Amino acid sequence: MYALATFAFLLGAAHFWLVALSWSNPQAEAYYWRPAALGFGVVSLVFAVVGLFVAYRRPDHPVGWLLAVIGVLFIGYQAETEYAVHALLVQPGALPLGNEAGVVSNTAWVLGFAVLPVLLLYYPTGRLLSKRWRIGVWLAALAALSTMLDTIRFWPYRSLGPDLLFLEEVGEPFTPWGTLVGVVLVLAAVTLSIVSTLVRPCGGVAQLNGSRSNGSGELGSFSSSMVLSPRWA
């Protein structure tokens, strides 16, 4: 818990520091609008903070951990991208491994989005509707794996230098099929998670009606367990 929190805040500090250093740099601005870079960093850190807070209060509930992982992946991507921007555009050669960071910045953005449908599948009860919904988790895992394989394919082209950040303009050295497949898998997982979210209330109402005598039920389990629990007092 504390290690993850420290890691998230270090990534956030690095991201904001690098954005500040490149705030008025025209090349950095051409790559990534500076206010947007700052805003996405703030949003990513909010995900991490909220997730860590929930995980601290309810360490047995996966929703908090999933939120924290999403936030760390997003702020990690933002910090890594700003590192590449500084090393390749703002002060070329000032930081080591700039080319490698440029390669990763082209694919790592998918990882955070891959975890989002998993969060929706487990929200709000902390459990899947049934084992059949595990397919959404597997799709998200395959999306992450496909993206990482694309990073390996892209690795030999790290000598492109600053052009790594402007591949759409200079022409991509290869078709990023792995990343494209990853995006499709993420969209499929998101679709499943949305269906799960829509179906879950119906099942909760039915279970509530069927078990009214003993006061149990799925409906409102997240709010009752996390808001009404004495541990939140």
CB 218 within 8 A of CB 125: yes
Using one digit for the tens of pLDDT, what is the confidence trace for 37-46? Answer: 999 999 999 9
pLDDT band for position 125 (50/70/90)?
A: confident
Give the residue among 142, 171, 174 at the shortest CA–CA distance from 156: 174
pLDDT score at 106: 87
pLDDT score at 225: 44
Q: What are the backbone dihedrals phi and psi of residue 20, each rounded to the nearest 5 degrees, phi first?
A: -65, -40
pLDDT score at 116: 92
Question: pTM value?
Answer: 0.81
The label of the residue with tokens 């390669």 reads 103
Average pLDDT over residues 25-45: 94
Q: Which residue has the higher pLDDT, 201 or 176?
A: 176
The DSSP-derived string for 89-103 is IISTTSSTTHHHHHH
pLDDT band for position 2 (50/70/90)?
A: confident
- Radius of gyration, CA atoms only, the chain: 21
pLDDT score at 172: 64
CA–CA distance, 77 with 79 (Å, rounded to integer): 6
Give the residue among 181, 175, 176 at the shortest CA–CA distance from 139: 181
pLDDT score at 14: 96
Contacts of 82 (CB under 8 A, 6+ apart): 14, 15, 18, 19, 22, 37
Burial of residue 66, with CB atoms counted within 10 A of its CB: 0-12 exposed, 13-18 middle, 19 or more buried: buried
Average pLDDT in the chain: 83
- Show the tokens assigned to 188: 């499929």
Whether 217 shows a pLDDT value over 60: the answer reads: no
pLDDT band for position 176 (50/70/90)?
A: confident
Whether 223 shows a pLDDT value over 50: the answer reads: no
pLDDT score at 118: 94
Amino acid at 222: F
pLDDT score at 91: 93
Amino acid at 45: L
pLDDT band for position 174 (50/70/90)?
A: low
In which element (H, E) is residue 212 found? none
Whether 122 shows a pLDDT value over 70: the answer reads: yes
CB 104 within 8 A of CB 175: no
Q: Which residue has the higher pLDDT, 223 or 79?
A: 79
Whether 96 shows a pLDDT value over 90: the answer reads: yes
Q: What are the backbone dihedrals phi and psi of residue 194, each rounded to the nearest 5 degrees, phi first?
A: -65, -40
CA–CA distance, 23 with 15 (Å, rounded to integer): 12
pLDDT band for position 138 (50/70/90)?
A: very high
CA–CA distance, 54 with 56 (Å, rounded to integer): 5
Whether 221 shows a pLDDT value over 90: the answer reads: no
pLDDT score at 202: 53
Give the residue among 4, 3, 5, 31 at the shortest CA–CA distance from 18: 31
CA–CA distance, 25 with 82 (Å, rounded to integer): 12
